[in-house]
Chains A and B, each alone.
Chain A
Amino acid sequence: MNAQLRPLSLLCELTYRCNLQCPYCYNPLDLRAYRDELTTGQWSSVLQAAADLGVIQAHFSGGEPTLRPDLVALVEAAAACGLYTNLITQGTFLDDELLDRLVDGGLNHVQISIQAPQAPLADRIAGAIVHDKKADALRRVLTRDVALTLNCVLHRLNHDSIEEVIDYAQRLGIRRLELANVQFYGWAYRNRGALMPTLEQVRHGEDVVAAARERLRGSMEIVYVLPDYFGDFPKPCMNGWGRQFITVTPNGYALPCPAAAGITTLAFENVRDRALGEIWCDSASFVRYRGTDWMPEPCRSCERRELDWGGCRCQAYLITGDPGVTDPACSLSPDHAAIASLREETSGAEPVYRRA
């Protein structure tokens, strides 16, 4: 392995349990397979091992990470290793007491997601009556010494409300807003027919974001995650396989990408069986698509090969059955026609709600 290669970011998926049922969730369909969760001690070891490898940020996510009773202890453990700590939550359990304990424990940043800017639609998407609770959590976080990002995943059911999401954020005094077009993995891939935005929605969204960025310059930063199936080039997924990111699943599997468990042609290793540093450096799964040597054409000779890193391996696998080909999202991919048909394969059917 290249000695310079150092992971920068660790995503701790503490649990896949969640009290919401969002059909756009990227978690795997077989949620029951992940119930044998790592213990507090095992997670603490993972955090220390990650810090030793050079990781600078620990992200606590899920599922809903606040369902873990040891969340505060894990934030404290991460902070004690010198890691920057980020909690990715839907906020419904973030009461004053938990929030104070997290901030006292060294939490640096919270990302709270809403499903839509208005309660009826948001609650319909979440499959639970939770929207008003989230506004309370957002207000609470704003009064604490911790950074906040408001996140809203965009898809066909809420894309027309994009301006209202920005207004909602502005009314609350949010400094950082992430508008993330849905990415099609896990439950979202299963529900792609119901969630795929229309081309009109995507174009309108771009215009709204460009105007809002101009209008709100200096008062709100808007991060816009581009839609996957609508561009000419693929996203540089994870900034390259096994280059900067490690995800650890609730039951301890170390993955180069949060969606990688879906690639059944690779055998991933577990932090219960092997040290995280060894998995990062030497495991067949992390090495397999690292760098550019694995690339077939058209990536191999492409001048963008170290910009896109071949796109997303999980997406290549989902769409073509082979994780080792150019991401079909790339217009240069021989499989690109499949993306166009997925984009048009919209359905009026109700989405399937996430459930264990």
Chain B
Amino acid sequence: MGAFLVRRLSINVLVFFLITIAIFALVHKTPGDPIAMQIPADQLNSGSAEFIAQKRAELGLDGSLVTQYWHWLTNALHGDLGYSLLNGRPVTEVLGERVGPTVELMGVGLLVSLLIAFPLGILAARRRNSWLDYGATVVSLGSVSVPVFFVALIVIYVFTLKFQWFPSSGISDPTNPSLLNTLHHLVLPALILGFGNSGPFMRYVRSSMITELGADYVRTANAKGAPPRRVVLRHAFRNSLIPVLTVIASNLPQLLAGAVVIEQVFAWPGMGQLAVSSVNQHDYSVIVGFALLIAILVLLSNLLADVLYTVVDPRVRLR
């Protein structure tokens, strides 16, 4: 198991460095003087030509591309991603305060999508070609094919404007930022995000369960006298998780993409909202930081999937 994880980890580290090269190329190609991204805006505007030149030397911007990359990378790894072009605040700080709300939205959204996908997928697999199966197919198709923002608008119309059950804007009420109030604000965006991602999960759970329910060991479990519930949950389900985990992990970027849209619609102060506004306002240093953060997030989720494999599948532990 150790060897397996070490190998996966080293692959991920390698990929991470390749990504940093790609992102650095992006930095290099952004319009304007790269120095503008790496010192606070007020210094840039007030500083003399000598000061700027000195800074340029300090930051390695007068060196070759390789030295420039090295400087940029070591700074980035130390948490120094430069300064926002817009307000001069450090990018790490700007991003940092946005991570929490997005992780919260994505985490609960993921939970919702799994809570929809697993029961529905398992039931659909057990009653294949029944009305329940067809119904589940329609639901999952709907979740994939109806755009998130459209669902969001309908939901806001019904639950916020008509019934006024849930708020549709912000992460909590500034005058009453209690946990309950935060959860109340979370309901609509998390449900919509979760529903939007449940479709593919459900399809994979269903097809994986169908494969496993037809396996020989399921027949063995039946022949031992195991009740259907036990056969499905103890035997087939755990085996069906192995391919499903891959799908869930590789869908996390899509979950994030969904979160970006949701954050716009619900004025959720997360990374997505920041990314969109940064793009609109040409805040390149923040965009670069965002790209790096996404890369790390995706790699971490793949690594998490690898760790979960070893938990679920004993055969992986030996290899």
Note whether A and B form a binding pair: no
| Chain A residues engaging chain B, CB cutoff 8 angstroms | none
| Chain B residues engaging chain A, CB cutoff 8 angstroms | none
